[in-house]
Amino acid sequence: MLRLIAKRLIAAVPSLFGVVVITFLLTRALPGDPAAYFAGGAATAEAIEQVRRQLGLDRPLPEQFLRYLGDLARGEFGLSLTTGQPVLTELAQRLPASLEIVLVALVVACGIAVPMGVLAAVRQGSWIDQVCRVITTAGVSLPTFFTGLLLAYVFYFLLGWAPSPMGRLDPIFSTPPVVTGFLLIDSLIARDAAIWWAAAKQLVLPVATMAIFVLAPIARMTRASMLGVLSSDFVRTARASGLTPATVLFTYALRNALLPVITTLGMVFGFMLGGSVIVEKVFGWPGIGSYAIDALTASDYAPVQGFVLTMGVLFVFVNLLVDLLYLLVDPRVSVDS
């Protein structure tokens, strides 16, 4: 197990280095001049040039890149020019907010999509199968920004059932002491049920938006995988041996059908990290996605580079987790290649 983890982490180093190089070059190719932006609209050419020298943007690109690599080697992501704070500090503060949406939405989506896919496969051609197809088609067809705006309009503006879609916690509540950065967990640690309930209500609309977005591929893969397994020889043999339908379904069929679903979950998690950027802007969520968008608008290089590198590291750990889940579900599977 430890050997597998070490091999995966070593193999990820070239990919992460490629992410660093591409991100560095792309941020320098962005339109706009950060020196002119921070010098102000009324700044003279001399003032802009002075700001450019202070930011180190007058140096050749290879020299800027080597300085950036040196900062990364020391664990420094640079300073955000828009906030004046270290990028690593702000990413660490905002990352739990983004992960809270993604993880809760993934749990909700799996809790709905996996049983739906199993039922659709078992009752192929029935009304359950038709409902599953309609829901998955709608989930694929609706973009996240439209779904988020629609949910906010219906459940907040029209019905008044949901709280104001502006951030993680209503301003009338005080944030609990930060332990993990996840409000649901920190409020439980603080034993404050009111804050937990307020944080949970704020999560409903963004989580629903993300869950609808990823529910379709999970349900479709579960249904397709279950159909293939249910028609296999070992399932027919298990049925002929007199095993109960529940034993055949859950012990034999579902476990063997989970491997493609786990692969889909790994890909879906990546889609959710990208989709969270839009969801955070729609709901005013203070995550790393909205932080990167604001920095990109201001041509603030350091936060954008830190955001992309953080996403690359998360992808590496997600792929590693998928490999470990393979071994947990089916120890016969080899992931050494």
| 228-270 confidence digits (pLDDT tens) | 888 888 778 878 887 788 887 877 777 778 888 888 888 888 7
Q: How confident is the model at residue 139 (pLDDT cuts 50, 70, 90)?
A: confident
The answer to the question of residue 148 being in a domain is yes
Least confident span in 21-25, 57-61, 218-222? 57-61
The answer to the question of residue 214 being in a domain is yes
Residue range 60-81: mean pLDDT, rounded: 78
Q: Read off the CATH number of the domain in which 238 is found.
A: 1.10.3720.10
Residue range 304-320: mean pLDDT, rounded: 83
CA 44 vs CA 35, 51, 150, 298: distances in Å:
11, 11, 46, 19
Q: How confident is the model at residue 281 (pLDDT cuts 50, 70, 90)?
A: confident
pLDDT at 34 over 80: no
The answer to the question of residue 295 being in a domain is no
Look up the domain containing 210 and give its range.
Answer: 92-287
Q: Do 235 and 229 touch, CB atoms closer than 8 A?
A: yes
Give the Cα separation of 140 and 157 in Å (integer).
25
Give the Cα separation of 255 and 251 in Å (integer).
6
CA 225 vs CA 84, 122, 244, 267, 285: distances in Å:
50, 11, 21, 16, 36
pLDDT above 70 as % of the chain: 90
pLDDT at 291 over 80: yes
Residue range 44-70: mean pLDDT, rounded: 74
- pLDDT in the model for residue 36: 65
pLDDT at 221 over 70: yes
Q: How confident is the model at residue 32 (pLDDT cuts 50, 70, 90)?
A: low
Q: Within 13 Å of residue 101, how many CA atoms lie on the same side as its CB?
A: 35
At 144, list the tokens. 């996240």
Domain count, the chain: 1
More confident call, 90 vs 20: 90
The answer to the question of residue 25 being in a domain is no
The answer to the question of residue 180 being in a domain is yes
The answer to the question of residue 162 being in a domain is yes
Q: How confident is the model at residue 324 (pLDDT cuts 50, 70, 90)?
A: confident
- pLDDT in the model for residue 5: 72
The answer to the question of residue 167 being in a domain is yes
pTM: 0.80
- pLDDT in the model for residue 147: 83
The answer to the question of residue 236 being in a domain is yes
